[in-house]
Amino acid sequence: PDLSIFIDLPVETSLGRIGMKKVELYERRRFLNAVRMEYLRLVRGGRMVRVDGRGSRSEIAERIIKVVMRRMR
């Protein structure tokens, strides 16, 4: 692909958004942190672009549009 975007969000915030139960939360936190770290490694390696996933949907969409528009120039 010409552009891969990683919408980055702290694990605690993402779990809160999807309403995980306490038991599920504990079991998934370590796994989700590991997955996030792998994506961040890809970003550092230049294979993906990181977009901050905190904020409203429209704020995140604006960030994504900016990344895409910069890439299209």
Q: Which residue has the higher pLDDT, 19 or 13?
A: 13
Mean pLDDT across the chain, nearest whole number? 88
Nearest Cα residue to 8 out of 42, 48, 52, 67: 52
Q: Are 50 and 6 in contact (CB under 8 A)?
A: yes
* pLDDT (0 to 100) of residue 24: 63
**E strand or H helix that includes residue 51:** strand 49-52
Mean pLDDT of 34-56: 96
For the cut 70, the answer to whether the pLDDT of residue 50 exceeds it is yes
Task: List, in order, residues 6 or more apart from 72 with CB less than 8 Å away.
Answer: none
* pLDDT (0 to 100) of residue 31: 85
For residue 5, the tally of other CB atoms under 10 A from its CB is 16
